[in-house]
Every structure is written in structure tokens, then in C-alpha cells.
Structure 1
Amino acid sequence: MIDAAFLVAYAITLGTLGAAWLEQASWPASSPRLGMIAWQALASSVVLSLAAAGLALTMSLPHVNADLAQFLDLCVTTLQHHYASPGGFWSATAGMIVFLAVTGRAMSMTVSAALSDRRDREKRAATFSLIGEPDATTGAWVVPCPLPYAFCIGGRHRRIVLTSGLFDVLNSDQIRAVLAHERAHLRQRHHTALALSRALYRTLLPLFPRFRHAMDHANLLMELSADDSARRAVGSTPLLEALRKLSTGTAMPGTLAANGADVELRMARLAGQSRRMPFSAMALAVALSIVAVAIPFALAAAPVMTIASEGLCQVTI
């Protein structure tokens, strides 16, 4: 029972205070890929903690801990003592409901996000195949449209799509910068990362409203990461100029300049108004992300590990 209480408290702390801190933090903009990992680690840890809390309560059922004791060659009496809960059967039943609800919702959201993302990508690829044509010079798919757009489609039908209007606005260096940006999205498989993030955040939304805007942060961090890759490939100036030109018009969701506030931050970074995150801080952030995900497993397995290390069996007289 104590383990379940710790797990619930840990989940609530991360889902409220942890999410609020990460939402207000400025360091993810200095290391966007690490920021994406931190957000996903935070959400994963909350989901795992809630599921593990339910599972810990379920362990008080006699046939469950008996089977576990037999499987791990542990003392069943000691195992029952460590996982005992005041409510007995009813708390164990509640734990089973929580475990099934959390894991079921997580799997449902994951499958839903994956299928929805795949259908959308295939639909867009089929549409642009009908109205556009490949361009040998850029290696992209060019669609006739007077508005300047650039975006990519990941997955099996991966491709970069440029509108004909883009060539009227940008010069050759800026076009190369845009292509480098979109190739970075494809190379880093951002469509997969976004689908996973969407599934995690939707799983937690009913209980933790702080994750309501987490996808906005995920989208921004993906763009910052692609900007960094493009900057290393072609330099900051052409990408900054392209972004400035594309941000003056109405942007389509999923394109290079899709959000005004985000574009201002991106242009500031490209103009050199951001500092690179120190290596020591990056190492600390990675370590904290790993620890955050590991804690639910450690708390849930603590009684089993204690019993196995002691090698003792309690006898009731």
C-alpha cells in the first residue's frame, strides 16, 4: 500500500509541478532534442507511475502474489506481507481497475495516434502525387500554388513538398536552406516523435491539464531541432532570410513558418541571440530524464528486490 501511495504522489508531483516547471523553462530552446526527450520522459513517467500504483495494489490478491512468488522463487508469506493493503480485496480490485484503465487508455491513444497520422500522411501523399510533379533540381515534389509553402511528409511515402509560389519568393540559397530544414525533419523522424508525444499527452489530459499545451511545445522543439540541422548544413543567414520572408504571409499548419510567436523565437536563435546549453547541464538533463522513467519501476519492484536480497521467509505462529 505504501508503494502505491508513493507512486501516486510521484505521478501527481510530476504531472503538475514537473510539467509546470518544464513548460516555463527556457533551456529546452537551447537544446531542443533534449527538450523533446525531457517532455516525453516526464509524460512516460507519469503514465508508468499510475499503472505501477494500480499493479502494486493488485499484488495484494492471494493468487497474484502466490503466482509471482512461485515464478521468482520467493517466499509467498513475506511477499504477501510487503504488498498487503488495508482494503484487502476491494483495494486490490480498485488497483486492477486503475492498471487496466491507464494501460488501456495509453495503448488506445498510441494506436489511434499512429493510425491517424498514417492515414493523414498517405492522404496528403496521394493528393500531391496527383496535382504535383517531382523536380530533379531540388529532389522535392513541386505543387502548383501561388502561395509560398514548404513542408514534408514522413513515413513510407516520405517526400518534401514545395509550392511553385515558393520559387517566386526565395532565391536559390534560401531554397537550399528550406530543403535542409525539411530533410532534417525526415531524417530525425519527427512525424514518429510527434505521434508518440500526442499519444502520451492525450493519455494524461483528463487528469493533468498541464499537458494540454504540451503538443505546442513539441512542435516548436521539432522546428528548432530542424533549424539547428539546417544551420549546420547551409549557415544561419539563408535560413533566417527564408523564414523572415515566409513569416510575412498566412502560414499553413505544418509549414516552415506556421506560428507567429514561434517564428520570432526561431529568428532570434538564428540571429545568434541564444546560447548553447553547457555540456554539464545537458548531461544532468539526460540523467534526470532517465531517473524520472526509472523511478516507477524501482518503487514498484522494491518489495520484490528487498525479499530477494534478504532471502528470509516470515512464519506466522
Structure 2
Amino acid sequence: MLPATAVSLAVLAALLAWPVPALLARARWPRRDPLVALVCWQAIGLAGGLSMIGALLVHGLSPWGHSLPEALRSVLTAHPAADPVRGDHWAALTLAGVLASELLGVLVLSWVRTTRTRRRHRELLELVVEPSAELPDTRLLDHPAPVAFCIPGARPLLVLSSGMVAELDGDQLAAVVAHERAHLREHHHLLLLPFVAWEAALPVLPAAGRAHAAVRELVEMRADDVALGSLSGTAPRRTLARAIVAAAGGGEEVPRGALAVSGGATGARVVRLLEPPSPLPVPVRWAALASAGLLLLVPTGLLVLPAL
């Protein structure tokens, strides 16, 4: 059963490496529900990595057993292979180890580098920013450009520049702060990290860059939606849209590793705020979530079920 399992996992890996991400990146429905779309993207990334490594591992271990658990048990207990071990088996095992090490290593390295960069920026900013008297948990930076960003981490930092404060009114400033607090509260930096690592580990794969860009845009749209829920006034959507347009001029001043209200397809976000799309119907929303769950269960099932 292992050869068929390996082929099935390889086909699934190929689908998740290109056509499925391409279709989701071009689809219009994610803008109607960024949260559900983010769940789908996470499922694609996890299932794709599991399928790629699983297909190689299953093929490489096939001489040791009729199921992956059996083969692993035979190898770990030093039982001899039941079938001849060919060069392609060793090549598959080697490639599986290299790919797993690269994906996990790049993920850890990306986390370490990003954390170090954010800590350095935070330490530098804390020397020049001042607490805001009007906006709690917000720091003010003396800078003419309209800049607003947050640096996530164990000690998150939410920063507004003096240029931003001068350009926006009270409602617009509240919208910007609500947007940045949404990033911090929902830990959006953790949703982005796997796709940063995916793009770094597989730069030749077009889907990696496409997925990273799509997730970054969806994270900003999700923060917009969360911010709208906490805003008052007669036209909160227009208020937030004006704040985004104002912040777009200072996007180049945002530190690396920060999350900013000016990040991720500002034009599309402004259009979405001023002309809000209809929400996904509840059945469609649950169908998308179920599909994401099924996407994770399929490779897991292909690896485990043959042993039952």
C-alpha cells in the first residue's frame, strides 16, 4: 500500500504547491471573509509541507513495511528490510530529511531573525518615543511623516508619529490605533511567519511569494474589520479609509518586522471599506472551514490509515 500512498501524497503536494494557491490568490471571496481565508491559507501551507515530506518518506521507507508506522518501527528497532533497498529509496529518504530540515530550519531562523530585528527596533524606539496622554498604551514619535505601526512580541509597542497625529482628526487616530491593536491582539505576525519561511526556503516556487503576498493583504483586511467593530461615529468605514490613505505616504518609514496600517494593498483595502462586499453566506463559510480541516486530514490519513 505504501507506493500508492506515496503517489497520492505526491499528487496532493503538487496540487498544493501551485494550482491550489494560484486559485485561492486569484479568488474574490477571501476579501469577503479574511479570517476564513487565512485559515485556508494556513491549511494549504501545513498540508503542502506534510504532503511533500510524507511522499518522500513513505517511498523511502517502503522496503521496511506495508505501512508507515510499521516501517518506522522496523527501522527504529533495526529490523532488516523485507524488500530490496534501491538507490531511489535512499535518495527519497535523503531528500525528505533535507527538505524537512530546510523548512523547519528556515522557519526557526526566520523567527529568530525577525525577533532580533524587532527587539533592536523596540530598544531604539524606546529611547526616542514618549507615552501619549490621550491614547493609552500608545507611544508618540517626533517624525514629520505620517507613520503608524506596531512591533509585536513579549513587550509590544504601538507607535504614532507626530506627523500622523497632526494630519488626522480624533476619530481617524482612533481608527489607526484600533487597527494596530487588532494586529497585536490576534497575533497576526504569527500567521505571517510560516509564509515568510516558505518563501525563503522555496524561492523558485512562484506559489510561495504569491501566498505570502495574499496572507499579508488578508491580515491587513482582518485588522480593518476588527478595528471597525470598535469604532463609533456616523461613518467608521470612511474614517478608517481616510486614515489608511493618509498613512500610505509614510509607509517607507515603517521599521522592518513591524505591522503597519499602511501595509498590504492599501488601494484594495480602501475600495473594500468604501464599497464593502457582501459577507459570505453561513453555509459557504462553514464549507470553507470544513475544506481547510479536510485538507489537513487527508495527508495525515494517508500516512496513518494504511496501518489500521
- 1:69-102: CA deviation from partner (whole Å, max 9, x where unpaired): 699xxxx99x95xxx6xx7332321221122012
Alignment-derived partner of residue 176 in structure 2: 178
> Which amino acid in structure 2 is aligned with residue 212 of structure 1?
G
The 5 A counterparts of 1:108-147 are: 108-139=105-136, 140-147=138-145
Aligned to 1:238: 239
Q: 1:68 to 1:232 in 2, by over 3 A?
A: same
TM-score, normalised to structure 1, is 0.85
Partner of 1:309: none
Superposition map of 1:64-83 within 5 A: 65=70, 68=73
Q: Distance in 2 between matches of 1:300 and 1:49?
A: 9
Q: Which of 278, 282, 301 is residue 281 of structure 2 equivalent to?
A: 278
Aligned runs of 1:54-73 on 2, under 5 Å? 54-62=56-64, 65=70, 68=73
Residue-pair matches, total: 292
Question: Aligned pair in 2 of structure 1 residues 145, 186: CA closer, same or farther (>3 Å)?
Answer: same
SS at match of 1:277: coil
Q: Which residue is 1:49 aligned to? A: 51
Distance 1:3 1:29 in 2: 36
Offset at residue 65 of structure 1 (A): 4.4
Counterparts in 2 of 1:288 and 1:255: CA distance versus 1, 3 Å? same
Rounded to whole Å, the distance in 2 between the matches of 1:269 and 1:174 is 17
Matched-pair contact (CA < 8 Å) for 2:9–2:51? yes
Question: Which residue in 1 is equivalent to 2:99?
Answer: 102
CA deviation vs aligned residue, 1:13-40 (integer Å, no higher than 9, x gap): 2212111111111111111122122112
- Within the candidate set 157, 160, 171, 1:159 is matched to 157
Distance 1:178 1:225 in 2: 14
Q: CA deviation at 1:170?
A: 0.4
Q: Is the 8 A contact 1:34 1:282 kept in 2?
A: yes
Paired with 1:66 and 1:167, the residues of 2 have a C-alpha distance of 63
| Structure 2: gaps (5+ residues) | none
Instruction: Find the counterpart in structure 1 of residue 269 from structure 2.
Output: 266
Aligned AA (1:38): C
Aligned to 1:310: none
Alignment partners' CA distance in 1, 2:71 and 2:53: 21
Map of 1:37 onto structure 2 = 39
Q: Does 1:189 align with 2:191?
A: no
- Computed over aligned residues only, the root mean square deviation of the Cα atoms, in angstroms, reads 2.5
Instruction: Mark the CA change 1:279 to 1:7 in structure 2 (over 3 Å): closer, same or farther.
Output: same
Deviations 1:195-221 (A, max 9, x none): 122123433444x32222322111111
Query: 2:61 touches 2:72 (CA, 8 Å); kept in 1?
Result: no
User: Residue 258 of structure 1: CA displacement?
Assistant: 3.6
Shift in CA distance, 66/31, structure 1 to aligned 2, threshold 3 Å: closer
Task: Answer whether contact 1:60 1:89 (CA < 8 A) is retained.
Answer: no
In 2 relative to 1, CA 62–229 (structure 1 residues): closer, same or farther, beyond 3 Å?
closer
User: Structure 1 residues 280, 96: CA separation in 2 closer, same or farther (over 3 Å shift)?
Assistant: same
CA distance in structure 1 between the partners assigned to 2:90 and 2:222 by the alignment = 45
Q: Deviations over 1:186-245 (max 9, x none)?
A: 000011211122123433444x32222322111111110000011111032321221233
Question: What is the CA-CA distance between 1:171 and the residue it aligns to?
Answer: 0.7
Change (3 A) 1:197 1:210: closer
1:59–1:65 CA contact under 8 A, matched in 2:
no
Residue 23 of structure 1 pairs with residue 25 of structure 2: yes
Any conservation in 2 of the 1:180–1:233 contact (CA below 8 Å)? yes
Identity of paired residues, percent?
A: 26
The separation in 2 between residues aligned to 1:28 and 1:67, in whole angstroms, is 40
Judged with a 3 Å threshold, the aligned counterparts in structure 2 of structure 1 residues 45 and 203 are, in CA distance, closer, same or farther, namely farther
Name stretches of at least 5 consecutive residues in structure 1 with no aligned partner: 306-317
Change (3 A) 1:67 1:296: closer
The residue number in structure 1 matching 2:261 is: 256
Verify the 8 A CA contact 1:268 1:274 in the aligned structure 2.
no
Give the partner amino acid of 2:42. Q
Q: Is this contact kept in 2: 1:243–1:257, CA < 8 A?
A: yes
Q: Deviations over 1:247-306 (max 9, x none)?
A: 3x35225432245xx21211122113311111111111111111112111111223212x
